[in-house]
Structure 1
Amino acid sequence: MHKSIATAILAILSLSICAQAQDIIIESRPEGQNFQNYQELEGKWLDSNEPVIRAKSSAPGLSAQTIGARKVLFQIAGTSSTVAFLPTAARFFPKLSAPAKMNVYATWPSASNAMPVHYVIKHADGEETVDLIQDGWGNQIRGGNADQWVPLGAFNFNSGADQYVEIRTDAKVKAVGSAANTQYYSDAVRFTVEPLGPAAMKGAAPVSAAPQVAPGASTTPINWMFDITSAQNAAKTQKKRILLYFFLPGNAASMKVDDTLNSPIVRGIVNSMYIPVRMDFSQNSQMAYQLQIFKGGTIGLYESDGSPVMHITERLTADELAARLRVQ
């Protein structure tokens, strides 16, 4: 009899322990944690892959940055052309096995540049919206707020799949800083039983961080100009070459080139050796044709007097492009 009661008590305790809420991280790529709990509802979502250190958050607990994240690109820097249509939305479902109060956090990579980004938390007691700035470049928030767990609050959640954190943007979205692409990220959301401490929110700087950034690399965004005459005058004064980039809004090749141009090693070379100019191919096709440039996603290098050095039309890695840009 006593054995039977003890067994029953142990069974009840076991069920209780199993029912306790567990911390959960949900990531937006198939290779990530609990991807099955992620869903995109509307909007033009893109894979974010390169450069690796800016394509996905490095917040503690996440999968390797090499798996990338998901993003919506609204506008390429220096243009007025809209790439993605609004609104956009994606959801992260905790799907708890038992009701629990959970602390909720979100994170994004350092290429993020959008405000406001709405986080809608659907919980047991109703719904709450938290508006955040995704400022990966540090335009408004010193040092930026990427690569860390940003708290959304603590909420009561029921079990099941009808509660979530939704990330959403609408017509009010704009760039935090004008020098980088206007884009926001659906990277990962974290639910924890206990609040995260400082180390768990941001973590220590990795020992391998220094070797990832090559000598001459830069964390400063490229300071684009948009007028070729002003750029030529600046090139003569500063004794630099001109980098003329013809992009095409919404074009896959142009997006690839933009990602490569945003890599630290390429930014370092461009900022130190060139006067960079961005031109919308669709709006400046006559000039492009005169320069023997026939498609978006093409980079032209010129001496300060306007004489051509080379055209770069193929898709290159950051290291390959850096090698081309260093040519004397």
Structure 2
Amino acid sequence: MQTLPRLAITAGEPAGIGPELLIRLAATPLAANFVAVTDRNLLRRAAERCGLTVELVDDDGGDISQRPPGQLRVHHVPLGAPEQPGTPDPANAQHVLATLAEAADGCMQGRYAAIVTAPLQKSSINEAGIRFSGHTEFFAERARADVVMMLASPELRVTLATTHLPLAAVPAAITADTLTRVLRIVHRELKAKFGLPEPRVAVLGLNPHAGEGGHLGREELDTIIPTLETLRAEGMHLLGPLPADTAFVPSQRDRYDAVLAMYHDQALPVLKSEAFDRTVNLTLGLPFIRTSVDHGTALDLAGTGRGDPASLIAAANMALELVARRRTHSQGHP
């Protein structure tokens, strides 16, 4: 019998919704060897708040071929201070970073097949005097990798040329170097992780109507179109630049496998409005698989036991699909 993939699950902000979502994930029958990288006592308290009985087993690094629902292996990383649901404590910043380091290093050393992350509170880490931009940047630095953010639902994959920038700063950030770097990573990862032999990427324009021939902005003419032409010459299948207001209509979606948006709010409202609880955040370009929920710490719900685990379950499912595809490919199957 094949062993279950070992997925490292980080609980994120101890005072947030993450620990309770992790407990609810463990209660599902998903065929995975979940290893919670966090404080075991935090998980016990989270299980009590959820009214669930969960068997917490110290992780011995071994493989298993089946996991009873409600069983959860734990790689214990002690808290810096007891959690108070809804009130993040900077004293736990080092704990959070230690869980991320263990998960990343464990993947690179072959101890875990993938990482699934619950949400964290960036402000609490920064308040501890530690410069921290987020999961994506942490893993990129840890793995010394060049990365791209992707958000994916069962119906749509979206990648971003720029992420959390003020809108006024976006045009200057759309350069030939940026687009080339991002599109090469996206193209490579759609082949490697998603098994698409000839990925088709729709590239959105920056301006309304994709600039309308320069009448509504010249970024398309001066930067985007020449860059796409260069990359097409390398063999990439790139559509666009497409007007963002029509690129997502159903009749267009069969033409592409993923979308590259120029900025955060150009595409994500479409994705989240139709699949908020089924959207998964992936980091492309890492030497390991990393998926995440696509929501925040929900401090107002923390401690109530009422958090919806749908996004974490979707993230775990996607990680399992990517691991299975990698296993199949490594065994020489098409």
TM-score, normalised to structure 2's length? Answer: 0.21
Structure with bigger strand share is: 1
Greater helix content: 2
The structure showing larger relative contact order (alpha-carbon pairs under 8 Å, at least 6 residues apart) is 2
